[in-house]
Chains A and B, each alone.
Chain A
Amino acid sequence: MNLLSSSTSNFDRSPPSPVQRAVVVVLWTLLFLVVIDVAVGRLFAAPPAGVEPGPLQRRFAAGRSVEGKLARMVRETDESSAPMAAAGWYGSRRDQPTRAEHPGGLFVAAYGMSTSFRVCYAMQELEPTLTLRLVGGPNAPLSHSYDGYLKDRTRHDADVVLLGVSAWALAGLESMTQMLIHFDAPAPYTYPVYRISDGELVATTPLVQSLEELRRAMGDPERWEAFRRQLAEHDAYYDELVFRGGPLDESTLVRLLRRGWGQRQKRRQLAQVHDANGYRSDSTVGPVARAIIRSFAETVRADGRLPIVILFHEKGFDDHLYTLLAPTLREHEIPFLSTHELAPASDHDSFMPDGHFTAEVDKRIAREVLAVISSAH
């Protein structure tokens, strides 16, 4: 009948026993698992560096360990590395204006992520004399934006400082890098993790703060181990099985399993921060976010500028960020606006398939921001 059962029938011509038949089926199953593992691995192998992977290639590579992904992303030079590797580090957006480009026009320095930058571009469309200075990273949590703002504070003379806060990314306050919390498609950039000690905001700065430092650490086992240990201690999304690489990265099935595991760990951690009713009151995310907002507004005002905060509510977040932060914003009289009033998070007409707001909504928010600025000035 087949290769595997012929060996048993050489001994004995009588039909195989149920146990023998079961063993044969198990062996065939294992053989086919190996075939699937190798075949899928070959068919959807990652493309050479510089070529954008397709959706299936990405899907089957999503479970590669963080170390494995970094090794593929970060090459000898910035040019040969994946574009994602360079994103989000402070200073990665070059040639940002330091002063208003149009005499008499408004100069806005914005800190946040793509959602807020899209709104900024929409503002520029409405107000062509507007000058923009944008600092941020993909999916960046508030801690990254705040850190970027602190680093950037003295390097420009903007009139308005805009801070975009994403409801979705807020849980990232418990992370130090996007490597873990978004391990499916990680951007390796880092940022401090904040906690509150005696009422004061205390930062733990990452040992690696630029792509160059990351490259150096990856080439130096001692430095790498120190960085890994720092993440294990301070990043709530650190998981040994997700982080550590090794030869098993080459197996498709192991990668799929690792992705399943990683998703599970991530969801458990996210559930500690946010559930269907909003941000949980027993999480440290709320107090830290409020402290950051306070400190942001204080320093911006000390510099004689106007602070503005936009609260972005992505799908599934109703008005949760607003509920969490609006009391603080009001108490300190910080001009702000919340998207849940302009584009409800439950309305699927508000969003594009990739999760960003539609251009129309961006424009609506932009108009509102401009109105807030002009009324506060």
Chain B
Amino acid sequence: MLFNSLHFLLFLPVVLGAYAMLRHRGQNRMLLIASYVFYGWWDERFLFLIALSTVVDYWCGLTIGRGRLTGRQRLVASSWLALSALCFVTINWSAVRLGGPEGIGVDWSTLIDPLGGWALCGALGLVAIANLFHGLVSRLDEDRRRKIGLCTSIVVNLTVLGVFKYFNFFVGSAEDALQGLGFDAQLLRLDIVLPVGISFYTFQTMCYTIDVYRGKLPPTARFLDFALYVAYFPQLVAGPIERPNELLPRLQNPRHFELAQIQRGLYLILLGLFKKVAIADGVAASVYSIYNSTGTVGGLDVAAATLLFCVQVYCDFSGYSDIARGVSKLLGIDLVTNFRAPFFSRSPAEFWQRWHISLSTWLRDYLFMPLVFLDPRRRIYLALMITMLVGGLWHGASWNFVLWGGFHGLLLVVHAVYRDRWPAPDPRAVRRWRVVAGIALFFAINWYSFLLFRAGSFAQIFDFTTALATGAGGMHLSMKLPALSAMLGIPLLLGLDLLEYATGDALAYRRVPAWARGALYAFLIFVIIMGTGNEPTEFIYFQF
């Protein structure tokens, strides 16, 4: 289900209504069902992957932290996996038709999906193995038991991610490499659809087992709480990627309601819709008109389309985060801040403290740090480059994302070396014009990095870079103009971000008098309504 769809507009009040009527335990159960409905709306088969991640990490968490699971815990987890396989992949629900003369009609010949049958067998096999070896593993010494738990979790999660997201990419790259060596290779390709948001939830569940291993938090005993942590719908498909020690306690404990929280939640939803509907969808067609067409493209077109793409990605993704945080606030659950006026950064290091914060801190804690401290030679810059390359690849199974990650990795390394020689002056002593110049300079560099991010091929990167460098085409602009909602919205968003940057306070908008806030909200609503006529695109980050 998309946040900017009519379905969600109906879904949310139903969830909130039920939420208000239930007590804590009931709220959690209802939220879990709602989350499965929310995710299953795309394709119910994807739910099996969520269930698999949930069960494996729940089991591993307890194996690491406590050594064993109670019989009841094993029963619940095992049945969850088996039932998910049965309901979400084995039964082909399109064979069941409601209505008609008999009320419910079932096409028995297609009811069982053959591939889903294998998935069910696999799930049952997995459950059987886990239960068989449970006693054996629990009797191992602590160190080995903990390592088995950790490795199982990481291997399963990365396998799921690898098969569903990267398999075809690596096979394709291998074929290309073999062809380059003169072999005519035709390797196996999987005919699979990328499950929405898979990169987000595998990272989120994986850091749970790692944190339990690191002793940062106790394993979750209650299966449903953990299942909700994995599937919690506001941030399931595009983040923010939450840390277990932050989100789990909020789900495990009863929530309190305050007016301020609801106000903030509603504002965040409004702001997120404004970014997505009015701006991101309003400029998408302009970017598309340059990046998705063939023919000669001038430098001005490339510059303008890439600039608008920066706006599009930022609005699309931070808009999604805003709506996620807003919706979650209405449920009384805080999520982390994911963006803080990122385009006002003056250095690559600052950029990554302001852009997709939940991912950059994740990569720092779970990839960069282990890379540095597992390496006896402590090669920081090597670890940094690897982290950024993997971070790039996380965005999508394509070489241009690797290139993008590498570009940002290089920027970080160069900046760190530079700062080693010339340390940063005290921020209070920096003159204003230098701040502005720094922001402009880094933005210009970053601007180019988004060309790498959006490009469809190496040939396009080459052509567009050449067009930029030579200024081909002169002042001729053939790009489709952005929608009116975006032209009105971009200056306002710039103002709001500038306010946040200058005050260092995301809540600064609240300090203005009531009438000015009323004017702001009214204008946001007006531009969103205007933006409903824009062609809706899926949130860009869903595919990551």
A interface residues (Cβ-Cβ under 8 A, vs B): 1-2, 4-5, 18-19, 21-22, 24-33, 35-36, 56, 59, 62-63, 253, 256-257, 259-261, 263-264, 267, 315, 344, 346-350, 353
Residues of chain B from 10 to 25 with CB closer than 8 A to chain A in the complex: none
Q: A2-B515, A348-B295, A349-B295 are in contact. Are A29 and B529 (CB under 8 A)?
A: no
Residues of chain B from 509 to 541 with CB closer than 8 A to chain A in the complex: 513-515, 517-519, 521-523, 525-526, 529-533, 535-536
Considering the chains assembled together, what is the distance between the CA atoms of A350 and B480 in angstroms? 14
Decide: B292 and A346 in contact? CB cutoff 8 A: yes
28 contacts between A and B (CB under 8 A): A1-B514, A2-B513, A2-B514, A19-B259, A21-B514, A22-B263, A25-B518, A28-B522, A29-B518, A29-B522, A29-B525, A31-B518, A32-B518, A32-B522, A56-B484, A253-B526, A256-B529, A256-B530, A257-B532, A259-B532, A259-B533, A260-B533, A264-B532, A344-B294, A347-B293, A347-B295, A349-B296, A353-B480
Give A37's nearest chain B residue, CB to CB: B526
Determine whether B159 belongs to the interface, using a CB cutoff of 8 Å to chain A: no
In the complex, chain A residues whose CB is within 8 Å of the CB of B526: 33, 36, 253, 256
Q: How far is the CB of B530 from chain A (nearest CB, A)?
A: 5
In the complex, chain B residues whose CB is within 8 Å of the CB of A346: 292-295
B interface residues (Cβ-Cβ under 8 A, vs A): 6, 259-260, 263, 289-290, 292-297, 478, 480, 484, 513-515, 517-519, 521-523, 525-526, 529-533, 535-536
Decide: B478 and A353 in contact? CB cutoff 8 A: yes
Considering the chains assembled together, what is the distance between the CA atoms of A22 and B521 in angstroms? 12
Give A267's nearest chain B residue, CB to CB: B535
Q: How far is the CB of A258 from chain B (nearest CB, A)?
A: 9
Q: A22-B263, A29-B521, A353-B478 are in contact. Are A260 and B292 (CB under 8 A)?
A: no
Decide: A348 and B515 in contact? CB cutoff 8 A: no
Considering the chains assembled together, what is the distance between the CA atoms of A165 and B321 in angstroms? 45
Give B515's nearest chain A residue, CB to CB: A28
Q: How far is the CB of A376 from chain B (nearest CB, A)?
A: 32
Decide: A28 and B517 in contact? CB cutoff 8 A: yes
In the complex, chain B residues whose CB is within 8 Å of the CB of A4: 514
Not counting A35-B522, A256-B532, A347-B294, a sample of 12 additional A-B residue pairs whose C-beta atoms are within 8 angstroms of each other reads A1-B513, A5-B514, A18-B259, A19-B259, A21-B514, A29-B521, A30-B518, A32-B523, A256-B526, A256-B533, A257-B529, A346-B293
Give B262's nearest chain A residue, CB to CB: A22
Considering the chains assembled together, what is the distance between the CA atoms of A19 and B259 in angstroms? 8
Contact of B529 among A26, A35, A260 (CB under 8 A): A260
Give A254's nearest chain B residue, CB to CB: B529
Q: A22-B259, A260-B533, A346-B293 are in contact. Are A36 and B523 (CB under 8 A)?
A: yes
Decide: B532 and A261 in contact? CB cutoff 8 A: yes
In the complex, chain B residues whose CB is within 8 Å of the CB of A315: 293
Give A35's nearest chain B residue, CB to CB: B522
Considering the chains assembled together, what is the distance between the CA atoms of A62 and B484 in angstroms? 13
Q: How far is the CB of B299 from chain A (nearest CB, A)?
A: 15
Interface centre among A25, A26, A30 (most CB of B within 10 A): A25
